[in-house]
A and B are shown apart, each in its own frame.
Chain A
């Protein structure tokens, strides 16, 4: 292992052009005084930027590496649990234990901007979702079923620990998913949401269960139609039909209202009449929504929230 100093390692990573290699290089290598020194003169590196989500303590990130010109060697990076000394990554060389492909898929590669999702989640709280209610969810590690409050909006399925929580526990993206009842499960009224596979690894199967047959049926139906793609396919057909009818009737076709995005898309000031019409429509609709009796036992929180029509929803 002579001649493979730390700088040479950094150069090798740089040459690979891997994303997280570049991330590591952003931090200036610093030696830890009195800290551990690994073979081959490798030293811990302080990270100045890591793509979130931040690696958990003890988590190992791996990368293919061509040290010694041998592509079989994998670099195992261990996140050092020494918060007082700053984040540190310790390098060590290990022999590969599994195929490159399998390891690569465990990388953290992408960041979902959670604020964009939470903004949507919270902004819609006072508006009726497509479906919501209690479902039992089997944990990923803890295999018992947990009671969760599920909220379906469009192609997003949120689940919360409690109905009134400000932040969801998790999110399931419902595009190209398969939703199927699961017979022979330990829980009755069980079903699975199977998410699409990525490159050889199977999709994730979310194991859920409804509280009764009716709920099961309603959820299966709601989830099956939840993808955006459906709308993408339907819309042009309807729009074309509408335009044809307008043409036949000698009528000028109008555009769908933009709703929440209405103000956002105004480039020139609208006439008062236009704004009055638009918001008037929305207020009338909200009045209908607020008078609607509660479908499920949502508790007092929701009925109170719906009592006050959101006049400033835009």
Chain B
């Protein structure tokens, strides 16, 4: 599948939701834990060698599962292939929880669902569509009841 690396590079330079140096281990058997600068930008997770400006790789965070791994670590796997796990080691339980929370909220699908939820709830409580003020109430993406899970 073709993609333009520069698009990803540009994204990796955007302000990040979270960025920290973590231990990271790939899903392949025999992978070794390496120190990587991990950066969360919208629904992508970039990781850099600690002394480099360009990312080594990127993961798309959609339809993924974030699981706690003892001690103070977590793993990311993708719903279609749950056995392949990317492992991350944090320096504290606190940091681990912070990352896990942020990663679960990072997907476009989660954000869209949340938006639909709040829109729905607010409309129920006030009788008014909160998206009207932004001029996007007709957008198909935010249709109430059209849960694009």
Contacts and interface: CB of A to CB of B under 8 A. Distances in A.
Contact of A238 (B1, B66, B78, B119): B119
Given A111-B57, A170-B1, A119 B80 contact: yes
A167 interface: yes
Given A116-B60, A124-B63, A259-B109, 8 more contacts: A19-B52, A168-B1, A173-B8, A228-B43, A231-B111, A235-B115, A260-B63, A264-B104
A172 to B, nearest CB: 7
B118 to A, nearest CB: 4
Contacts of A8: none
Interface stretch (A76-84, A86-94, A239-247): A239-247
B99 to A, nearest CB: 14
Contacts of A195: 4, 6-7, 10
A261 B43 contact: no
Interface string B106-149: 01111111110111011001100010001010011100011111
B130 A257 contact: no
B92 interface: no
Interface in A277-313: 281-282, 285, 288-289, 313
Q: What band does the interface of chain A fall in when counting residues whose beta carbon is under 8 Å from B?
A: 35 or more
A19 B6 contact: no
B125 A231 contact: no
Contacts of A17: 51
A51 to B, nearest CB: 7
Given A172-B7, A238-B122, A116 B115 contact: no
Interface of B: 1-14, 42-43, 49, 51-52, 54-68, 78-81, 84, 104, 107-115, 117-119, 121-122, 125-126, 130, 134, 136, 139-141, 145-149
A259 B147 contact: yes
Contacts, number: 212
Chain B interface, >50% SS class: mixed
Contacts of B10: 175-176, 195-198, 203
Contacts of B51: 17
A201 B6 contact: yes
10 contacts: A112-B3, A117-B3, A153-B108, A172-B3, A197-B10, A228-B111, A238-B115, A259-B110, A261-B63, A288-B145
A116 to B, nearest CB: 4
Nearest to A197: B10
A228 B80 contact: no
